[in-house]
A = this chain, B = another copy of it.
C-alpha cells in the first residue's frame, strides 16, 4: 500500500500533520555524489511560503528545513535523505468550536468515516501543509535533474477567468518573468487583472480557482515506461495527489477531443541533426515516452475551500448547522499561487524517477 510514498526508484515518503510536532520527508534512491546543502532546500521552501504578498495568506509560516541524514562532506551518499520541518506557533484552540462540524470542501467527513478518528487541528494530515515536504524533496530532485540539464518550470496560466497569453515566449523568458512575478505568472499585463480579482475575492471572503501550466525543455528522448509507467500517467498521478487539483491535461489536452487527426498529429521533421516535430500538439510524449519536444501540461485547481462566508452544513450527529471560520482566520484567496513550486516539485520527482528507470531499458 505505502499510501505516503511516491515514486519507484527515486522515492519519497512524507509524514506529519498541520499542527503536530513536525512534517518531513525521507528521500530514498537519490544517487550518491550529488552535491547538496540545506540552502538548496530552503530556497525552494521559501517560494512556497505565504505572507510575502497580499495575494497569499498573511500567515507568517517560516518553514525551516533540517537535513537529518544522507549527506556527508556536502554530498549525497546513497543513504536516505531525511528532511524535517518542525511546526511552530500552531494555535489549535480555534479548531475546538468547529471540530464536530463537517467543513464543506474539506476532508474531515471522509477521514472520520474511513478511520474513525480525525486530527482536526489545522486539518491534520489532510492539510496542504504536507506539500512543504514535497517541495523539500523536489528540491533534491531538481538538483539531480539540473546535473542532467533538465529544468522543469511551472507558472500560473489562469486565475478565475483571466488567462495568461504567452504563445511565443522562449523558455528563458518564461523563467525570467516568473521569477519576478508576485504570482508566478509570465504575462505581466494579465497578471494585473488576476491580482485585481484576487484582492476582490479576498475582500468578499471568497476564493478563486486557477490553472497552472508546466513546461520542461530539453528533456531527453526515452523517459517514461510503457505500459503502466507512462510519463503522463505518473505525472497525472503526481498532480492528482495534490490538494485541490481537479484535472490535468497534456499538450492540447481537452481541446484535442475537438480536433481532427489531421490537425492534431505532429509531423516529424529534422532540426539540425535531431528528429523533432513541426508542431507540439502532443505536448512532448508519444506512447507515454518523451520525444525530446517540450513537455507541456496544465493542472486545474479548485478555488480554496476555506472561505470566510458562512456556509450550510451538518455536524457529526446530522444536525443542520451554519459553518463559519473563526474571525481572524487567515487563508489563501487563491491556493494555486502557492501551488506553483509544489507542481514544479512533483514534476521534478516524476522526471528524476523516470531518468533513473531509463537506465535499465537496454542491455
Contact = CB atoms under 8 A, between A and B. Distances in A.
A221 interface: yes
Contacts of A31: 360-363
Contacts of A15: 26, 68-70, 79-82
B113 A257 contact: no
Interface residues of A, number: 155
Contacts of A102: 268, 275
A139 interface: no
Contact of A116 (B6, B24, B80, B362): B362
Given A104-B265, A233-B241, A110 B3 contact: no
Contacts of A313: 267-268
A14 interface: yes
Contacts of A126: 226, 287
A236 B248 contact: yes
Contact of A209 (B6, B16, B104, B259): B259
Contact of A125 (B79, B114, B300): B79
Q: Give the secondary structure class of A's interface.
A: mixed
B22 A1 contact: no
A315 to B, nearest CB: 9
A65 B198 CA distance: 45
A358 interface: yes
Given A109-B268, A237-B237, A359-B360, 17 more contacts: A1-B229, A2-B5, A3-B225, A5-B11, A16-B68, A32-B363, A78-B115, A106-B287, A109-B221, A110-B224, A209-B258, A249-B249, A249-B300, A257-B336, A260-B303, A264-B303, A265-B305
